[in-house]
Amino acid sequence: MAKNYKIYIGSDHAGFELKKVLTDFLIEKGYLVSDLGPQVFDFEDDYPIYIRPVADAVAHDAINKTDSRGIIIGGSGQGEAMCANRIKGVRAAVYYGVTLDIVTLSRKHNDSNILSLGARFINNEQAKTAVSIWLKTEFSGDERHLRRIVELDE
């Protein structure tokens, strides 16, 4: 992924600190980052308020043939991925530790365009590693994987 592509990022309260860490990390690496919130920590916030705009932006860019990706962060990453995956054209994959193969396969086989991170299960370095691998891994483009992606959107 070229570094001039936009990366949208959003979180809930559980992912707030990791969002700040990853935003700084990505900017240092030369990526264009759009932080869609929250801008202030609020323990009572609801993740859909911040996750939906990330999913909408990535889906909008996909429709307009503008490549972008999204990173969403919550306690487990599960609810955030469920929220994002309700938007047509979004393919959010969850990572909350253990093997990084899931991050690689989500790109190679599923062309994931959003990575959902579980901040309560990974540390900052694990998150940076997962994001780096995810951004560098290209979709294989195999016919069987393309077919399945089309079937998801039908």
Pick the closest to residue 58 from 32, 103, 92 (CA basis): 92
Look at the block and give the residue holding tokens 């951004």: 135
**2 pLDDT more than 80:** no
Catalytic residue among 17, 44, 109, 138: 109
Pick the closest to residue 134 from 93, 97, 96, 98 (CA basis): 93
Look at the block and give the residue holding tokens 């240092």: 28
How distant, in Å, are the alpha carbons of 30, 60, 64, 71, 111 from that of 67?
Answer: 16, 10, 9, 14, 12
Could you tell me the two tokens for 19? Answer: 């969002």
113-131 pLDDT, tens digit per residue, is 999 999 999 999 999 999 9
**1 pLDDT more than 80:** no
**Residue 117 has what pLDDT?**
98
Catalytic residue among 80, 143, 145, 154: 80
Is residue 13 flagged as an active site residue?
A: no
- Band (3; pLDDT cuts 50, 70, 90): low
Q: In whole numbers, what is the pLDDT of the chain averaged over residues?
A: 94
Fold classification of 6-153 (topology level): Ribose 5-phosphate Isomerase B; Chain: A, (3.40.1400)
